[in-house]
Amino acid sequence: MEVQVIFCPFPCHFLLQWSSIILNRLASQASLNLNVPPPWSGRFWGRTHCVTTDSKFQCATADCGSGQITCNGGGAIPPASLIEFTLAPNNGKDFYDISLVDGFNLPLSVTPHGRLLGCNTTSCAADVNTVCPLKLQVKGLGGGVIACKSACLAFKQPQYCCTGAYNSPVTCQLTKYSKIFKSQCPQAYSYAYDDKTSTFTCTGGANYLVTFCP
């Protein structure tokens, strides 16, 4: 099974995480083919505004906190747009989604390839940063908005984090903040129980095209 990754038209560090292994590649207007043997599950994300200062590598969005280009087993520090895959063996049913549950930093899309039925593209092509509420904004050195926090990250309250009394699909619903993410990217997860419109499946051993900044 093959996953092709196409990168943004500006410098972006790509990360792939599965089974505690993380790969990375500095990319600008580039593409990368990955062969992944199912069963396989993992996440893709992109780090932006990365610099090396005093031998310490850091990114302003979706950093992993290692101080190095490699993440050494670490995941993305929110806010970060995520692509999540669970690929099945023997041409079984794959699951894939785009998640803004941890906030937004880059537009993303996933497109299945092959002679397949019922296998649809999911995309978050909008720049959510342009409509991000002030309380959720992450600003860069120049003062521009470079990422948008989730309400859970910003306020740490159970109604936004789907925890405590809100830890079920019945009690955890869209809020005024997650509605902003959902209006911009209707196919992406905007909160933890946003499964109905945000989980995508494909059966038949598809290959996939992952695009950053579609």
pTM exceeds cut of 0.85: yes
Nearest-angstrom CA–CA distance, 73 and 120:
31
pLDDT value at 18 more than 70 = no
Residue 4: what pLDDT?
A: 81
Model confidence over 94-135: pLDDT tens digits?
A: 999 999 999 999 999 999 987 677 799 999 999 999 999 999
Nearest-angstrom CA–CA distance, 78 and 161:
13
Characterize the bridge pairing of strands 12-18 and 21-27: antiparallel
Tokens 């600003």, located at residue: 139
Strands annotated E in the chain: 2-6, 12-18, 21-27, 31-35, 40-53, 56-61, 82-87, 93-99, 108-113, 122-124, 137-139, 145-148, 200-203, 207-212
Distance between the two ends of the chain, CA-based, in angstroms? 22
C-beta separation of 55 from 65 below 8 A: no
Model confidence over 144-182: pLDDT tens digits?
A: 999 999 999 999 999 999 999 999 999 999 999 999 999
For the purposes of burial, counting CB atoms within 10 Å of the CB of 99, is it exposed (0-12), middle (13-18) or buried (19 or more)? buried
**What's the fold here for domain 2-212?**
Thaumatin (2.60.110)
Structural domain spans, the chain: 2-212
Model confidence over 21-75: pLDDT tens digits?
A: 445 555 566 777 888 888 888 889 989 998 999 999 999 999 999 898 888 778 8
Q: Is residue 20 very low, low, confident or very high in pLDDT (cuts 50, 70, 90)?
A: very low
Residue 181: what pLDDT?
A: 99
Residue 2: what pLDDT?
A: 77
Model confidence over 129-154: pLDDT tens digits?
A: 999 999 999 999 999 999 999 999 99
Ordered alpha helix ranges (H), the chain: 151-155, 158-161, 176-184
C-beta separation of 214 from 123 below 8 A: yes
Residue 3: what pLDDT?
A: 81
- Residue 193: CB atoms within 10 A of its CB come to 18
Report residue 180 as tokens. 């902003």
